[in-house]
Chains A and B, each alone.
Chain A
Amino acid sequence: MKAAAFDYVRAEHLDEALDVLGREGSDARIIAGGQSLMAMLNMRLAKPRTLIDIMRLPELARIESKGGTITIGAGVRQASLQEWPELGRDLQLAALALPWTGHAQTRSRGTVCGSIAHADPSAELPLVLQALAGEVHLRSAKRRRRVAANDFFVGMMATTRADEEMIEAVSFPAVHKRSAFREVARRHGDFAIVACAAVATANGVRLAVGGVADVPTARDFPDLDGSALDDALNGFAYSLDARDDVHATARYRRDLVRMIGRDLMREVLQ
């Protein structure tokens, strides 16, 4: 388990990173905290020719809160977001999900944007981005664009990021409505078998599910109760096309969506 050979570029300015990415495209990969990418390199699931380290760029290590939007730069580690004083007030869902994101020993290095770039369907931070309808800020040497979470994730570990683009930041709307998060995994901190996030909306609840479909998936529900709620959750659970794997059966995953979904919706609607 040793990575294949690659050049290592330590960028001192963002332009340098974008320049190398523009020239080398899919042969180059950005490395930030490395907590997803290094495992992929060690297992040779990824064999880039060049790694571009962006962790020496202070302009990317910022959390900005402006006009009801929280923007988290590509260099912000998960542990730094966890320690951000406004987190519990403005991004309650992230505050609830971060303790489930890996372990203290990986959050200390791993970044928020890195987890979103990796786009594992059972990862917590992509789920939070989808639940809050956040945006991914992509940048290449030539252009900048913002992509809504729902359009960003297109498949298992697949996103709409072009080869010459990097994630510069992600942004979340500040949400002061009730939020809830729950996850079932073999060990706390492992990838979720099923993870659910719920946020109260103006007329009901937005429920997002990770670990079941190829991408984290959100649906808005009106304020339902009793069998109408059961039917709605059952329809949602089936729409996610759960599959059997070594961790759990499709049926168990659907069960978890129905049960956790119901609990979380009750919790945020109280």
Chain B
Amino acid sequence: MSRLQAGRRHSVRFSLNGKPCTGEAEPRLLLTDFLRHQLAATGTHVGCEHGVCGACTVSIDGKPARACLTLAVQIDGCELRTVESIAPSPDRLGILQSAFKRNHALQCGFCTAGILMSLDCFLRAHPRPDEESIRDLLCGHLCRCTGYTPIVRAAIEAAAELVDHGKEKTDA
């Protein structure tokens, strides 16, 4: 049993976007604040801080999760992925991001990081989704700019492209 005392910082070791990472966190520190303030990973946005809006969604051990409903100390030993992992390099957009851009699936962009992470987790598990399942997934996110339709379109386009992309890789 380990007891991490209040008011003190404790070491947290985990993997962030495929690389080993160590940080220090008080027990009460939220994963959102840990990422943004301690690790300067500001791609993850902070919206409602009670799990409703979805802006802070990240991937923990391959599953989508609200970073605002997770303590930094809870991710010790976990594999964490954030929106920073989506692009292949800092000057190129990933397949999902390009589809979002083409389809105007974002305007202010505040909700986008969370939606990309939800879709990224979902499309890995469901490579050929229908519109209904994407809409069902998106009910865990609030977007006040787009009306969701362009996001659904972008997700379906990206899914098809990811399947083709996967095929190319296997054929090569």
In the complex, the answer to whether B137 meets A42 with C-beta atoms within 8 Å is no
**Residues of B contacting A255 in the complex (Cβ-Cβ under 8 angstroms):** none
Alpha-carbon distance A7/B7, docked complex (angstroms): 8
Chain A residue, CB-CB nearest to B3: A9
B66 within 8 A of A: yes
| Nearest CB of chain B from residue A47's CB, rounded to whole Å | 10
Q: Which residue of B lies closest to A16 (CB)?
A: B1
Which A residues between 189 and 203 are near B, CB-CB below 8 angstroms? 189-190
**Is B27 a contact of A8 with CB atoms below 8 Å?**
yes
| Known contacts A7-B3, A16-B1, A38-B70, A105 near B65 by CB under 8 Å | yes
Most buried by B among A35, A39, A79: A39
Q: How many residues on chain A are close to B (CB under 8 Å)?
A: 38
B97: interface (CB < 8 Å)? no
Complex CA distance for A48 and B33, rounded to whole angstroms = 21
**Chain A contacts with B in 55-95, Cβ cutoff 8 A:** 55, 79
Q: Is A246 at the interface (CB under 8 A from chain B)?
A: no
Cβ contact of A6, chosen from B6, B30, B49, B74, cutoff 8 A: B6
User: Is the C-beta of B4 less than 8 angstroms from some C-beta in chain A?
Assistant: yes
Whether a CB of chain A sits under 8 angstroms from the CB of B89 is: no
Q: Are B50 and A5 within 8 A (Cβ)?
A: no
Judging by beta carbons under 8 Å apart, are A42 and B2 in contact? no
Point out the residue from A3, A7, A42, A51 that lies within 8 Å of B5, measured CB to CB.
Answer: A7
Across the interface, B50 reaches (CB within 8 A) one of A9, A11, A42, namely A42
A13 adjacent to B64 (CB under 8 Å):
no
Q: In the complex, are the beta carbons of A39 and B136 less than 8 A apart?
A: no
Residues from chain B with a CB closer than 8 A to the CB of A176 are none
Interface centre among B68, B71, B76 (most CB of A within 10 A): B71
Q: A42-B68, A53-B74, A104-B137 in contact; A2/B1 too (CB < 8 A)?
A: no
A7 and B6 form a contact (CB under 8 A): yes
User: Across the interface, do B65 and A109 meet the contact criterion of CB distance under 8 Å?
Assistant: yes
Interface of A is mostly: loop
Cα-based distance from A34 to B68 in the complex (angstroms)? 10
Within 8 Å CB of B71, what residues of A?
A: 8, 34, 38, 51
Verify A108–B63 contact, CB threshold 8 A.
Answer: yes
Chain A 1-23, CB-CB to B under 8 Å as 1, else 0, gives 11111111111110010000000
**Cβ-defined contact, B30 with A5, below 8 A:** no
Q: A42-B68, A104-B137, A109-B69 are in contact. Are A5 and B26 (CB under 8 A)?
A: yes
Question: Does A156 sit at the interface, judged by CB under 8 A?
Answer: no
A56 closest partner in B (C-beta): B77
Q: Are A13 and B1 in contact (CB under 8 A)?
A: yes
Residues of chain A within 8 A (CB-CB) of B64 are: 104-105, 108
The residues of A that contact B60 with a CB separation of less than 8 Å are 109
Nearest-Cβ distance from residue B77 to partner chain A, whole angstroms: 9
Bound Cα distance from A39 to B4, whole angstroms: 21
Shortest Cβ gap from A61 to chain B (Å)? 13
B33 — which chain A residues lie within 8 A by C-beta? Answer: 2
Collect the chain A residues with CB atoms within 8 Å of residue B1's CB: 9-13, 16
Contact assessment for A2 and B54 in the assembled complex, using a CB-CB cutoff below 8 Å: no
**Chain A residues with CB below 8 A from B128, complex form:** none
Return the 10 tightest CB-CB contacts between A and B, nearest first. A103-B140, A8-B27, A39-B50, A5-B6, A38-B69, A108-B63, A16-B1, A105-B140, A1-B49, A8-B4
Since A10-B3, A106-B51, A187-B139 are in contact, a sample of 20 more A-B pairs with Cβ atoms closer than 8 Å, ordered by chain A residue number, is A2-B28, A6-B6, A6-B27, A7-B3, A7-B5, A8-B73, A16-B1, A34-B74, A38-B70, A39-B69, A42-B30, A103-B54, A104-B137, A104-B140, A108-B64, A109-B65, A109-B69, A109-B70, A188-B136, A189-B139
**Residues of chain A having any CB pair with chain B under 8 Å:** 1-13, 16, 34-35, 38-39, 41-43, 49, 51, 53, 55, 79, 99, 102-106, 108-109, 187-190
